[in-house]
Amino acid sequence: MRNEKSVSKEHKTTQTILHVLYGIKCALIVSLFLGLGIFQSAHAQTSNRITAVRFVQEGDNFLAVGNWEQAILSYTTSMQTDMTYTEAYLKRARLYEKLGRHKESIADYNYAIELNPYLEFLYDERSHVRLLAMDYIGSMEDINKAISLNPTNDEYLDRRATDFLNMGEYEKSIQDMDTLLRHEYRLENVYQKKAIAYMMAGDQRKSLQAIDSAMQINPFSAVTYDLLGIIQMHEEDYETSLESFTKAIELDPNFGVAYYNRAVVYRTLGEATRAQEDIDKAIEVSHSLDNAYFMRALIRKDLGDLTGALEDYNQANARNGEFTEVLFNRAYTLKLMGDYNAALTDVDRLVSLEPDNPANWNLKGNICLLYGEYNPAIEAYSEAISLDGQYAEAIYNRGLAYVMSHRPLQGCDDFTRSLELGYEAAEKIKGHFCGL
């Protein structure tokens, strides 16, 4: 029976590194256009426009002191006062993006683009929000539109290379990066990203060559050493990756991602105490690593600290309620702690988010089985089996539910089937309940 859902081999570090390397671009271009009066209509001096400008300024003041809801209200009032005042839409769009409210941010960009369809930076900014919302196709459409409007802008080409990378189009990403290298555009940064592309494409030799090129440009880059550690970790060269992450930390003692990655390696090597020391440090120096709470929860669970693990799962869930690995592991931890009602609440949320994942239905069956709710357990296991007919564990678990609800014939059929699929635990229990 699977105990936990952990992060993948790359431990979700690729997107984290991409955010470190290519953080959200500031809106200097927007400010420039606004300063030049591009968005000022022929009626800019009307009372409505003047009032709308004042509401935007009021929103800016609220934003400066961290009063985000009041800032949103002020920007919204500005829009209601003058529906053609694009700056208000842009200000609210960027604030929504900052708050992670991507759908609302995109809606504001949509209206700004409707008002100004030939300003390429609007497509560029919306592309970034769509990328964060994991709408890779929409992001690609936007960045291609920006490039078509301004084909000499290497920043847009760089953004497209990132989009290709996130979409798994590694060759196309590398082609764009080769163009950027010929233009001598941000060489260290492009070589770093090129190393990621080759790593994901499975070409370790070229990945290491790209890392070496980045190091020749800047031999004191903590990010480059961290990427080297990720490549080595990807190849399961854990001892060497520890050295690279340690070097990255020496170069930048406040580099939270490097502490996180080294913690992942320590956990993989079974050194849970050292892993917790590093993950604690990662959380201390970087408050933006949402995955760190999830990782620390896994480490605390390894150390037998179920209460601490639950606290961290709650933290991770508060930061990202759609993080299904959190729900899965928190539900399992609650089950271990005997809080079946809370565990069932989490697993019901999980299956609503990922109804086509058989492991989620199997976990729901396990929780129902512990409740003694045999028919709901059988229904959940059957759903898992319908999604994956070779899911031997779910078949075995359904056999248990059948036997425990006094239906031995169906139970024995499931034990036999799971054993045929290689689930060895079924052999002993089949002999006990079903004979030879």
Return the pLDDT at 182.
Answer: 96
Residue type, 390: Q
Residue carrying structure tokens 């006990």: 432
281 in any annotated domain: no
d(CA 104, CA 96): 6
Q: What is the pLDDT of residues 219-248, one digit of tens each?
A: 999 999 999 999 999 999 999 999 999 999
**Of 120, 131, 132, which Cα lies nearest the Cα of 163?**
131
For 173, what's the count of Cα atoms within 13 Å in the CB-facing half-sphere?
A: 24
Return the pLDDT at 41.
Answer: 42
pLDDT(278) > 60: yes
Q: What is the pTM of this model?
A: 0.66
Return the pLDDT at 32.
Answer: 37
Where do runs of H (alpha helix) occur along 286-357?
A: 290-302, 306-319, 324-336, 340-353
- The per-residue pLDDT of the chain, averaged, comes to 86
Q: What percent of the chain has pLDDT over 90?
A: 62
434 in any annotated domain: yes
Return the pLDDT at 21.
Answer: 52
Where is average pLDDT lowest: 160-174, 187-201, 253-267, 421-435? 421-435
Better pLDDT: 1 or 93: 93
377 in any annotated domain: yes
Q: What is the pLDDT of residues 240-250, one digit of tens each?
A: 999 999 999 99
Domain CATH number, residue 380: 1.25.40.10
∠ Cα 352 355 361 (to 5°): 100
390 in any annotated domain: yes
Cβ atoms within 10 Å of 204's Cβ, excluding its own: 16
pLDDT(117) > 90: yes
Residue carrying structure tokens 């709470």: 293
433 in any annotated domain: yes
411 in any annotated domain: yes
What's the total number of domains in the chain? Answer: 1
Return the pLDDT at 13.
Answer: 52
Where is average pLDDT lowest: 3-17, 68-82, 364-378, 379-393? 3-17
Average pLDDT over residues 119-137: 91
Q: What is the pLDDT of residues 346-372, one digit of tens each?
A: 888 888 988 999 999 998 988 888 778
Residue type, 396: Y
Q: Report the chain's terminal Cα–Cα distance, integer Å.
A: 24
Residue 380's H or E segment, with its range, is helix 374-387
Better pLDDT: 431 or 256: 256
Using 50, 70 and 90 to split pLDDT, how confident is the model at 14?
low
310 in any annotated domain: no
CA quadruple 224, 226, 231, 235: dihedral, nearest 10: 150
Using 50, 70 and 90 to split pLDDT, how confident is the model at 17?
low
Return the pLDDT at 136.
Answer: 86
Q: What are phi and psi of 310, to 5 degrees?
A: -65, -40
Residue/partner pairs of 218-222 with CB below 8 Å, 24 or more apart: 218/188, 220/251, 221/188, 221/192, 221/251, 222/248, 222/249, 222/251, 222/252, 222/255, 222/258
d(CA 14, CA 180): 21
Better pLDDT: 294 or 155: 155
264 in any annotated domain: no
Structural domain range at position 430: 355-436
Structure tokens at 229: 């550690």
d(CA 348, CA 205): 45
Average pLDDT over residues 393-411: 90
Q: What percent of the chain has pLDDT over 70?
A: 87
Return the pLDDT at 6.
Answer: 52
